[in-house]
Chains A and B, each alone.
Chain A
Amino acid sequence: DADVTQTPRNRITKTGKRIMLECSQTKGHDRMYWYRQDPGLGLRLIYYSFDVKDINKGEISDGYSVSRQAQAKFSLSLESAIPNQTALYFCATGRGSGRDEQFFGPGTRLTVL
């Protein structure tokens, strides 16, 4: 089984709809991250959480919100989706000490029409 899972893997929605992307991990890591990837722009950090009670904004948090329901679960919400939020979204985890290597989920491809 994958260590970091994301649901759904693909989603097509309409402008103005509320969307939630979910991430679960079995790695036991404290740190979790949400990134979006756009062609030619690399990955950009949306939000990150160092533990259940710690939520921080990344580079591009406007239009997004997150919830850290448990150590293993971190969800990303788009309250009112817009077309320029069409992108590939990745969740990642990190141990938070020592090497602090990040491990990524398979991604969610979101299309907003």
Chain B
Amino acid sequence: KQEVTQIPAALSVPEGENLVLNCSFTDSAIYNLQWFRQDPGKGLTSLLLIQSSQREQTSGRLNASLDKSSGRSTLYIAASQPGDSATYLCAVLNTGGFKTIFGAGTRLFVKA
């Protein structure tokens, strides 16, 4: 059974710092991995999607990497801003059954 773990559960950093959020999964038979952002009481906004054949994806200050063999993905945020404060979720889509499994998220707070 696929399990997705995100560490740390919460993170507080000063503005301008570069940071890395971690996501690990137990079954490497995935179709893709997606990173989302969730603001309090709101829905999820897709940030980046990495196909299983890809190693990384970039969008602006965000870079996501995928190492399928070790069951890990990282989300790198450069030059963090207070507006980046949110919960970041990773989700893997399994090849068997096409079910998406989510991690519990990392709650990020960027201090001005």
Instruction: Spell out A's residues near B (CB within 8 Å).
Output: 4, 33, 35, 40-45, 48, 50, 58-59, 90, 92, 99-107, 109
Contacts and interface: CB of A to CB of B under 8 A. Distances in A.
Contacts of B89: 42-43
Specify the main secondary structure of chain B where it touches its partner. Answer: strand
Contacts of A58: 99
A112 to B, nearest CB: 18
A45 B43 contact: no
Closest 9 pairs between A and B when the two form their complex, measured CB to CB: A42-B102, A104-B44, A42-B104, A43-B102, A106-B43, A104-B43, A101-B49, A107-B43, A99-B49
A107 B104 contact: no
Given A48-B99, A58-B99, A106 B42 contact: yes
Contacts, number: 54
Given A99-B51, A101-B34, A102-B46, A45 B100 contact: yes
Interface string B23-48: 00000000110101000011111100
Nearest to A43: B102
Contact of A42 (B34, B46, B49, B103): B103
Contacts of B99: 45, 48, 58-59
Contacts of A41: 104
Contacts of A59: 99
Contacts of A42: 4, 89, 102-105
A100 B102 contact: no
B64 interface: no
30 contacts: A4-B43, A40-B104, A42-B89, A42-B104, A42-B105, A43-B44, A43-B89, A43-B91, A43-B102, A45-B99, A45-B101, A50-B98, A58-B99, A90-B43, A99-B32, A99-B49, A99-B51, A100-B31, A101-B49, A102-B91, A102-B100, A103-B46, A104-B36, A104-B43, A104-B44, A104-B45, A104-B46, A107-B41, A107-B43, A109-B41
